[in-house]
A and B are shown apart, each in its own frame.
Chain A
Amino acid sequence: MSTVRLEKVCKAFDDVPVVKDVSLDLPTGSLTVFLGPSGCGKTTTLRMLAGLESVSSGRIFIGDNDVTDLDPRDRNIAMVFQNYALYPHKTVAENMAFGLRVRKVDPTEIERRIRTASELLGLSQLLERRPRQLSGGQMQRVALGRALVRDAEVFLLDEPLSNLDAKLRVQMREEIYKLQRRLGKSMVYVTHDQVEAMTLADQIAIMRDGQVQQVASPLEIFDRPVNLYVATFIGTPEMNILTMRREGDRLVAPALSVRPGGFLPAVKDGVQVKVGIRPDHVQLAASESDASAWLTIDVCEQLGTTTLLSGHLGEQSFRTLLPRTQAKLGDRLPIRLLVEHFHFFDADTGLRLDNYQST
């Protein structure tokens, strides 16, 4: 059963479409992340789900109800805003209680829920403070608490960690993860940070220009990106994309020739393909005869455990992440490309080519 369902949802502002034909199923109790660069329509989609933005066409369902034309207050949702949106004139306790008071929840029940939520989030000492007396991380917790006490059917989080510093962000990310798994609530989480998406999500919906590119689990998206966009968007450092041509059982490019064995893309001889190779799917060749390519080094960045080498294979730029290696500008390193990890994409459409041709 799905808690939330979007059916061909579109949104246009003054005839400019920002969300195009989004259809999604969010399973009950799961955490779905909308991931994409700014301006891709992910926040707009979330706001339509919340009822803060009207829908140009399409339907939205929460549970069994069509909520497309309902006000936010009739949708049984709770939301955490990017800037927290805490009421500045109310104390922490009042901020959390407000939604319950408006809904005429029994005062003893309100108190019980606030106590539970504030213990869960470590806010018990701060209940009488006002938002301006709180740090960013504390405000974030209060915003979460305000959503949690509501006991809503769906929780919406709009880039909730983007205003925190890096260290706090990691900490809060873990807390959100634990909370969601413990409470088993359905959550929709919007972010442009792929690490947040990868670590938190049960499923990720990658968006671009108002369209959903792929909906899948984090590892599925990482392992089998449906197109070039998803392939290069997910993964740091970015996946290398080489333009190569099939010639017999080989893939060739200027000053580069690889024999992928059983992993040859199913295209005709002489056709160009885009070959995606993740930077860590490369090894330093044991010997020169073992090398499948020679990487000319442009930049050598030491990251501690690993070394990020940027350079070029023939004429095409290429990056690789290797165990700690010493290299300097202009060095030519023999490398082995792990053919079993190659991703192939159509050179024109950018779509994934999946069926291999046996040799």
Chain B
Amino acid sequence: MMTRASSPSPQAVRPLRKLHARRIGDAFTIVLTLAVLFPFFWLIQVSFRPNEDIFGSDILFSPTLEHYRALWKGNFPGSFINSIVTSVSATVLAMLIGVPAAYALSRAQFRASRGIRMWILVTRMAPPVAFTIPLFIAFKFMQLHDTRIGLIIVYLTFSLALVIWMMKPFFDAVPTALEEAAAIDGCSTWRAFFSVTLPLTAPGLAATAVICFIQAWNDFFFALILTRTQASTAPVAIVGFIQYAGWEWGRMAAAGTLVMAPVVIFAILVRRYLVHGLAAGSIKG
């Protein structure tokens, strides 16, 4: 017969098992994170490798900025600026138009409001590819082809529905009593909106703006088709490094790193809001 002292008591076993489970979980998380981040790290290290050793696997190499320098001298800065101008403009415009629209749809009580919401969503139902040829022909006709304004219009149309649908629940979550309190405190409708309602939806605004920006920034398809040289964006420029003479891996990697950077920086800046905004979607009154 076993004595009590020699057999581990169930109370002692359980925390041990828990600890094991946690360790396995942690290990899994680390492996997964590495797997997800590997391509990014690989890209970044390639961008610093000299051409002779571009696919080298040794971790110790003498980093060089030659690819970045080459990018700086070529057409890439122009494309990069095009990317910034079109994405930022599209995001700002989409927010300026979409946020008040979402607010109006959240607060207004008229019979057609459901229908309007539905039709706004419908604009996103067709696959974007379906719009290519009509857009191409229309842009040729209106002389918007290969212009930044043309791209901004395209990005704006696709972002607007997203902004309205993302922001509406945030406005729904702000109790109307707060706006009424503001009205009694002496605010006009606009003042109440700006000093009470809008600050309360800040997480939503941040999350929505980031998603809009990323959507426009990462677009390759429309930028490829609707631009040629003047307004071509960074993602399109990267493809330009695939040439008859050879594939310029170094420049491709450097350009890719530069394209990634703003999104990462932007996301880190609003990270707190982003998690808040994407996860909650509501505010406690």
Please indicate whether A and B come from the same complex rather than being unrelated chains. Answer: yes
Interface of A is mostly: loop
Min CB distance, B255 to chain A, in Å? 41
A52, A82, A102, A132: the one within 8 Å of B185 (CB)? A102
- Chain B residues within 8 Å of A146, by CB: 181, 185
- Chain B residues within 8 Å of A99, by CB: 184-186
- Chain B residues within 8 Å of A73, by CB: 183-188
- Chain B residues within 8 Å of A102, by CB: 185-187, 191
A70-102 interface code vs B (CB 8 A; 1 in, 0 out): 011100011101110111110000000011001
Is B26 engaged at the interface, CB distance under 8 Å to the other chain? no
Q: Which residue of A lies closest to B183 (CB)?
A: A72
Is A251 engaged at the interface, CB distance under 8 Å to the other chain? no
Is A50 engaged at the interface, CB distance under 8 Å to the other chain? yes
Given contacts A85-B178, A88-B200, whether A98 and B185 have CB atoms under 8 Å apart is yes
A44-68 interface code vs B (CB 8 A; 1 in, 0 out): 0000001110000000000000000
Is B130 engaged at the interface, CB distance under 8 Å to the other chain? no
- Chain A residues within 8 Å of B200, by CB: 88-89
- Chain A residues within 8 Å of B186, by CB: 73, 99, 102-103
Given contacts A88-B200, A88-B284, A132-B284, whether A79 and B178 have CB atoms under 8 Å apart is no
Indicate if the CB atoms of B183 and A89 lie closer than 8 Å.
no
For window 164-220 of chain B, which residues contact chain A by CB distance below 8 Å? Answer: 175, 177-178, 180-188, 191, 195-196, 199-200
Task: Give CA–CA (A73, B184) in the complex, Å.
Answer: 5
Task: Give CA–CA (A331, B180) in the complex, Å.
Answer: 58
Is B285 engaged at the interface, CB distance under 8 Å to the other chain? yes
- Chain B residues within 8 Å of A51, by CB: 183-184
Indicate if the CB atoms of B184 and A79 lie closer than 8 Å.
yes
- Chain B residues within 8 Å of A79, by CB: 180-181, 184
B178, B182, B184: the one within 8 Å of A50 (CB)? B184
Task: Give CA–CA (A86, B180) in the complex, Å.
Answer: 11
Is B283 engaged at the interface, CB distance under 8 Å to the other chain? yes
- Chain A residues within 8 Å of B184, by CB: 50-52, 72-73, 77-79, 99
Min CB distance, A327 to chain B, in Å? 49
B178, B188, B191: the one within 8 Å of A87 (CB)? B178
For window 106-133 of chain A, which residues contact chain B by CB distance below 8 Å? Answer: 132
Task: Give CA–CA (A77, B185) in the complex, Å.
Answer: 9
- Chain A residues within 8 Å of B177, by CB: 81-83, 85
Task: Give CA–CA (A50, B184) in the complex, Å.
Answer: 8
Task: Give CA–CA (A81, B196) in the complex, Å.
Answer: 16
Indicate if the CB atoms of B285 and A88 lie closer than 8 Å.
yes
Min CB distance, B277 to chain A, in Å? 15
Min CB distance, B55 to chain A, in Å? 53
Indicate if the CB atoms of B181 and A87 lie closer than 8 Å.
yes
Q: Which residue of B lies closest to A158 (CB)?
A: B177
B180, B187, B195, B199: the one within 8 Å of A85 (CB)? B180
Task: Give CA–CA (A141, B79) in the complex, Å.
Answer: 59
Q: Which residue of B lies closest to A80 (CB)?
A: B181
Indicate if the CB atoms of A52 and B183 lie closer than 8 Å.
yes
Indicate if the CB atoms of B180 and A88 lie closer than 8 Å.
no
- Chain A residues within 8 Å of B175, by CB: 83, 85
Indicate if the CB atoms of B183 and A87 lie closer than 8 Å.
no
Task: Give CA–CA (A79, B179) in the complex, Å.
Answer: 13
B191, B195, B285: the one within 8 Å of A83 (CB)? B285
Given contacts A102-B191, A132-B284, whether A85 and B181 have CB atoms under 8 Å apart is yes
B183, B187, B188, B283: the one within 8 Å of A88 (CB)? B283
Task: Give CA–CA (A102, B180) in the complex, Å.
Answer: 14
- Chain A residues within 8 Å of B178, by CB: 85, 87-88
- Chain B residues within 8 Å of A86, by CB: 181
- Chain B residues within 8 Å of A98, by CB: 182, 185, 195
- Chain A residues within 8 Å of B285, by CB: 83, 85, 88
For window 147-179 of chain A, which residues contact chain B by CB distance below 8 Å? Answer: 150
Task: Give CA–CA (A52, B182) in the complex, Å.
Answer: 11
Indicate if the CB atoms of B199 and A89 lie closer than 8 Å.
yes
Listed residue (A51, A102, A132) with the most chain B CB atoms within 10 angstroms of its CB: A102
Task: Give CA–CA (A232, B163) in the complex, Å.
Answer: 55
Listed residue (A88, A103, A146) with the most chain B CB atoms within 10 angstroms of its CB: A88
Min CB distance, B194 to chain A, in Å? 12
Q: Which residue of B lies closest to A75 (CB)?
A: B184
Listed residue (A72, A77, A85) with the most chain B CB atoms within 10 angstroms of its CB: A85
Interface residues of A (CB under 8 A from B): 50-52, 71-73, 77-79, 81-83, 85-89, 98-99, 102-103, 132, 146, 150
Q: List 7 A-B contacts (CB under 8 A).
A: A82-B177, A85-B175, A85-B178, A85-B180, A85-B181, A85-B285, A98-B185
Extra A-B contacts (10), CB below 8 Å, given A72-B180, A99-B184: A50-B184, A51-B183, A73-B186, A79-B180, A79-B184, A83-B285, A85-B175, A87-B181, A88-B178, A102-B191
| A-B CB proximity, top 8 nearest | A99-B185, A85-B177, A102-B186, A85-B181, A73-B186, A72-B183, A72-B184, A79-B184
Interface residues of B (CB under 8 A from A): 175, 177-178, 180-188, 191, 195-196, 199-200, 283-285
